[in-house]
A and B are shown apart, each in its own frame.
Chain A
Amino acid sequence: MALLKAKGAIMIQLTTPVSESAIRALKVGDEVTVSGRLFTGRDAVHKYLHEGGQLPEGVSLQGGVLYHCGPVIVKDDAGRWKCVAAGPTTSIREEPYQGQIIRDFGLRAVIGKGGMGDRTLEACRQYGCVYLHAVGGAAQVLAERIQRVPNVYLLEKFGAPEAIWEFEVEGFPAVVTMDANGNSLHKEVFAASQAELAKYI
């Protein structure tokens, strides 16, 4: 299928904060690694920001990367946060909010799984953002790329899985499945698989 990565394609390295031109150069199927700073945010955070909630001091999403993730985090013996599992959560639940958050907070990339819908795709095109797909369930491989957990925000309010965690990451792997040029791997695969299914029923 045309959806498969071309042989010999290279891994593209992104470092936060990411420039708009670097984002606009990405295309569906590119494999990337992200290094630098990520913030997690999932259901509670999206609803909170959508309803006019303010980002806590210390959280900047400008040129930044938002990770749809509810990690397992424990405190080590020295009292530091340690991430023991951190794969992506399903992104489509944030579809009602994501476009607005990309626009208002200057996001350059959203990492999650399962892809998102037309409104998010349009916001990616308009404001220069991409959707990066991490492998769902691969919580250990992805947690290994988290070097440090310097901070957590809104922990009391939302609880550990829903809080905003700040991660310092090195070489976090993902695939571009929605680019800033209006292309979505999810739309392509859905349409192709639906057409294929029609042959067998």
Chain B
Amino acid sequence: MSIASVRPGLPLATVNPVAKVAATVPLSIVLILTLDVVSATVAIVCELLVFTLVGLGSLLWSPRTLPVWIAAPLTGLSMVLYGAPSGETLWDFGLIHVTEGSVQIGLATTARVIAIALPAVVLFLTIDPTDFADGLAQTLRLPARFVLGALAALRLVGSSIDDWRTLNLARRARGIADRGVLIRFLGQAFAMLVLSIRRGSTLATAMEARGFGADVERTWARPAHFGGIEWLVIAVGCLVAALSATIAVATGSWNVVWS
């Protein structure tokens, strides 16, 4: 098994991954600058709209995004319970001070986490690691050695998952699986590290035998396009960020974190 999936047949799948990642950057900057419900909510509404329009609606509501919907309210809740108290106190219990201010921060945090994580998760599901590597190396001109090394390592993650399962069974067979969970976990993690290094060095030899790292200027079998559609994707990202910021400022809820 491998997590280095083959290019999924999804909308936006053929768009240069570098553009998809770049498109999320402006919004992330805006939402990190301000902590308020309005900007984040506008961003979420725009995201739902845009993803549904391009045909990624099914992915939005698939179990793959479930972690976002679960993690965001939990993050918010911790802000409600432990955030800096301000305004009227609603509930007091030991270290916990629920105040009007902390509830607001909690809501804003929840919306902010969703607004940042949702596009990241959805867009990443449309990215094939090989295309991403091509984009990093050809569009951003990152060093090929580094990019392709990381790509090959990613392919080994699948074998590592299999290794982990087998190691688990092997430890039971060797009579040492009745010990404490922590000791077992540490020992097994170390064993997996050793196996991974061995696998990695074999793969490195195989890559080197095929001329990887030679002094020749490397060519690329798959062109990484960067054209109109890529600029459009980035423009949409900028637009969503600008809209969120504008509406937040206009409604007076813009709240720069250091102010």
- Whether chains A and B associate is no
